[in-house]
Chain A
Amino acid sequence: MIALIKKRRPLTLILQCKIKNTKPDMKISITTLLFSGILLFIVACGGNNPDASQSGTTNDAATTANGNPSYDPERGTGKFTEVEVGTTLDVTKATAGEQTFNVKCSACHKLTAEKLVGPGWSGVTSRHKAPWIMNFITNTDEMLNKDPKAQAQLEICLVRMPNQSLSDDDARNLFEFMRKNDGVK
Chain B
Amino acid sequence: MKKNLFKLTAVSFAIAAIAMTSCKPKNAGSTISGDAGAKAYIAPGKYDEFYNFVSGGFSGQVSVYGLPSGRLFRVIPVFSVDPEKGWGYSEETKPMLNTSHGFVPWDDSHHTELSQTNGDVDGRWVFINANNTPRVARIDLSTFRTAEIIELPNSAGNHSSPFITENTDYVVAGTRFSVPPDNVNGDVAINTYKKNFKGTLSFISVDKTDGKMDIAFQIQCPGVNFDLSHAGKAKSNGWFFFSCYNTEQANTLLEVNASQKDKDFIMAVNWKKAEEYLKAGKGKKESVKYAHNTYSDKTHSATSEIKTSVTVLDSKELEGICYFMPCPKSPHGCDVDPTGEYIVGSGKLAALIPVFSFDKMVAAIEKKDFAGDYDGIPVLKYESVLYGEVKKPGLGPLHTEFDGKGNAYTSFFVSSEVVKWNIKDLKVLDRASTFYSVGHICVPGGDSRNPNAKYLIAYNKITKDRFLPTGPELAQSAQIFDISGDKMQLILDFPTIGEPHYAQAIAADKIKNNSLKIFKIDDNQNPYVSKGEGTAKVVRTGNRVDVYATAIRSHFAPDNIEGVRMGDEVYFHVTNLEQDWDVPHGFAIKGALNAELLIMPGETQTLKWTPDRVGIYPMYCTDFCSALHQEMQGYVRVSPAGSSVPLTFSTGKTAPIAEEASAK
Contact = CB atoms under 8 A, between A and B. Distances in A.
Interface of A: 22-23, 25-28, 30-33, 52-53, 55-59, 102-104, 106-108, 116-117, 158-160, 162-166
Contacts of B513: 52-53
Nearest to B651: A107
A85 to B, nearest CB: 25
19 contacts: A23-B624, A28-B625, A28-B626, A31-B627, A52-B512, A52-B515, A53-B513, A55-B46, A56-B46, A102-B531, A103-B521, A103-B531, A107-B550, A117-B554, A159-B553, A159-B626, A160-B626, A163-B580, A165-B580
B268 interface: no
A103 B522 contact: yes
Nearest to A26: B624
Nearest to B518: A165
B580 A164 contact: yes
Nearest to B601: A165
B553 A162 contact: yes
Interface secondary structure of B, over-half rule = loop
Given A52-B517, A102-B532, A106-B533, 17 more contacts: A22-B624, A27-B582, A27-B625, A28-B625, A28-B629, A31-B627, A52-B513, A52-B515, A56-B45, A103-B521, A103-B522, A103-B532, A104-B521, A107-B533, A159-B628, A165-B518, A165-B580
Given A117-B553, A117-B554, A163 B532 contact: no
Contacts of B552: 107-108, 162
Contacts of A106: 532-534
Contact of A27 (B44, B512, B577, B583): B583
Nearest to B536: A107
Contacts of A162: 552-553, 578-580, 583
A5 to B, nearest CB: 15
Interface string B562-579: 000000000000000111
B322 to A, nearest CB: 48
B374 interface: no
Nearest to A140: B580
B557 interface: yes
Contacts of A165: 518, 520, 579-580
B281 interface: no
Nearest to B517: A52
A116 B552 CA distance: 13
B501 to A, nearest CB: 29
A6 to B, nearest CB: 14
Given A103-B522, A108-B552, A56 B627 contact: no
Contact of B577 (A23, A31, A107): A107
B555 A164 contact: no
A26 B623 CA distance: 10
Nearest to B524: A103
Given A58-B45, A107-B533, A107-B555, A163 B579 contact: yes
B47 interface: yes
Contacts of B46: 55-56
Contacts of A59: 45
Given A162-B553, A162-B580, A163-B580, A55 B533 contact: no
B472 interface: no
B652 interface: yes
Contacts of A107: 532-533, 550, 552, 555, 557, 577
Contacts of B521: 103-104
A82 B598 CA distance: 41
**Which 10 pairs across A and B sit closest by C-beta, in order of nearness?**
A56-B45, A165-B579, A102-B532, A163-B580, A103-B532, A107-B533, A55-B47, A107-B552, A164-B579, A28-B626
Nearest to A58: B45
Interface string B21-60: 0000000000000000000000011110000000000000
Contacts, number: 88
A164 to B, nearest CB: 4
B624 A104 contact: no
Given A103-B521, A116-B652, A117-B553, A159 B45 contact: no
A171 to B, nearest CB: 13
A88 B45 CA distance: 50
A107 B521 CA distance: 14
Contacts of A55: 45-47
Grouping DSSP codes into helix (H, G, I), strand (E, B) and loop, the A interface class, with mixed when no group exceeds half, is loop
A85 B219 CA distance: 69
A59 B45 CA distance: 8
A57 B625 contact: no
Interface in B529-553: 531-535, 550, 552-553
A102 B534 contact: yes
Contacts of A56: 44-47
A32 B626 CA distance: 9
A106 B577 CA distance: 10
Contacts of A103: 521-522, 531-532, 577
A121 to B, nearest CB: 15
B516 to A, nearest CB: 11
A111 B532 CA distance: 15
B72 to A, nearest CB: 13
Contacts of B520: 165
Contacts of B578: 162, 164
Contacts of B582: 25, 27
Nearest to A141: B580
Contacts of A26: 624
Contacts of A104: 521, 532, 577, 579
Contacts of B550: 107
Task: Please indicate which of the listed interface residues B520, B623, B624, B652 has the most CB atoms of chain A within 10 Å of its own CB.
Answer: B624
B580 to A, nearest CB: 4
A27 B580 CA distance: 10
The winner among A56, A59, A158, A166 for most chain B CB atoms within 10 A is A56
Interface in B252-269: none
Contact of B624 (A27, A32, A159): A27
A166 B520 CA distance: 10
A165 B516 CA distance: 13
A106 B513 CA distance: 32
Contacts of B577: 103-104, 107
B555 A117 contact: yes
A159 B554 contact: yes
B632 to A, nearest CB: 11
A36 to B, nearest CB: 13
Contacts of B533: 102, 106-107
A19 to B, nearest CB: 10
A57 B532 contact: no
Interface centre among A52, A55, A159 (most CB of B within 10 A): A55
B71 to A, nearest CB: 12
A135 to B, nearest CB: 16
Which of B513, B515, B531, B626 is the most central at the interface, judged by chain A CB atoms within 10 Å of its CB?
B626
A58 B43 CA distance: 12
Q: Chain B CB within 10 Å — which of A52, A103, A108 has the most?
A: A103
Interface in B606-630: 623-629
Contacts of B554: 117, 159
B532 A30 contact: no
A32 B628 CA distance: 8
A58 B44 CA distance: 10
A27 B555 CA distance: 15
A30 B625 CA distance: 11
